[in-house]
Amino acid sequence: MGKTMKVIARIHTDFPTKFGIPRQSGLVDALKAVIVFEPEYRNPDALRGLDGFSHIWLIWEFSETVRDDWSPTVRPPRLGGNTRVGVFATRSPFRPNPIGLSSLKLDDIELDTELGPVLHVSGADLMDNTPIYDIKPYLPHVDGHPEASGGFAAPLTDYALEVDFPEPLLCLIPKERRDGLLGVLANDPRPSYQNDPERRYGFEFAGFEIRFTVQDSRLVVCEVVSL
């Protein structure tokens, strides 16, 4: 019988729900997050030498999609939500084991008097309080493959929206979180199969609800509501 995996840490981000989270890690470098270890793993010795690496891998759980059954095919939003491909050809959260993999920039390791070592990271694509199963250093000489092909996702890598965020509304967002939010909006937080110019979308970010519309390649923020 295999050993049951333990949650070693949890990540804290500005996304209390799934809507709005970047589709992949590293898409929005300005997004900041912190990783706090569970009490059993707050030993600084476990991180000895990690400060020599600029990036890390996180192995984590899709905690909102845990289920007993699974399907061999899924419908990726990037293909319009109608085309089925093999689950192992996607990064869908609906998998036999709900495991996610993310590569993040390691900005700092803080030694907190109560929480022990806390990791400050950038570029996260995880929901707030997501459980972390493991952390590994990113090795650029073996983990980086710039010549690799991207399959059905490759044609969409340069896609971005023009963001119109009126200054009075943008000023409601804390200054240190504005660049991250602008990056999220430019990457189009809507499901790929939704393209209704009359629809007003919204998602929660850092204690606010951001409401917006999209027409063609232009996103307009209509309202910012404090939660």
Give domain status of residue 119, yes or no. Answer: yes
| Same-domain pairing of 165 and 222 | yes
| Same-domain pairing of 35 and 139 | yes
Give domain status of residue 199, yes or no. Answer: yes
Give domain status of residue 3, yes or no. Answer: no
Q: How confident is the model at residue 196, as a pLDDT?
A: 80
Please tell me the total count of domains within the chain: 2
Give domain status of residue 85, yes or no. Answer: no
What is the span of the domain harbouring residue 184?
Answer: 156-226
Give domain status of residue 84, yes or no. Answer: no
| Same-domain pairing of 138 and 160 | no
**For 14-24, how does the pLDDT look when each residue is reduced to its tens digit (9 = 90+)?**
999 999 999 88
| Same-domain pairing of 132 and 176 | no
Give domain status of residue 103, yes or no. Answer: yes
Q: How confident is the model at residue 155, as a pLDDT?
A: 61
Give domain status of residue 28, yes or no. Answer: yes
Per-residue pLDDT for the chain (227 aa), expressed as one digit of tens each? 567 899 999 999 999 999 999 988 999 999 999 999 999 999 999 999 999 999 999 999 998 777 788 889 988 776 766 789 999 998 888 889 999 999 999 999 999 999 999 999 999 999 999 999 999 999 999 999 889 888 877 765 567 899 999 999 999 999 999 999 999 999 999 876 677 888 999 999 999 999 999 998 999 999 999 99
| Same-domain pairing of 28 and 139 | yes
β-strand partners of 202: 211
Q: Are residues 132 and 59 in contact, defined by beta-carbon separation less than 8 angstroms?
A: yes
| Same-domain pairing of 40 and 118 | yes
| Same-domain pairing of 209 and 168 | yes
| Same-domain pairing of 126 and 190 | no
| Same-domain pairing of 49 and 13 | yes
Q: How confident is the model at residue 157, as a pLDDT?
A: 58
Give domain status of residue 2, yes or no. Answer: no
**For 50-83, how does the pLDDT look when each residue is reduced to its tens digit (9 = 90+)?**
999 999 999 999 987 777 888 899 887 767 667 8
CA distance 120 to 34: 5
Q: What is the CATH number of the domain that holds 218?
A: 3.30.2310.20
- As a residue count, the chain comes to 227
| Same-domain pairing of 39 and 108 | yes
Q: How confident is the model at residue 190, as a pLDDT?
A: 87
Q: Which pTM value belongs to this model?
A: 0.91
CA distance 188 to 179: 15
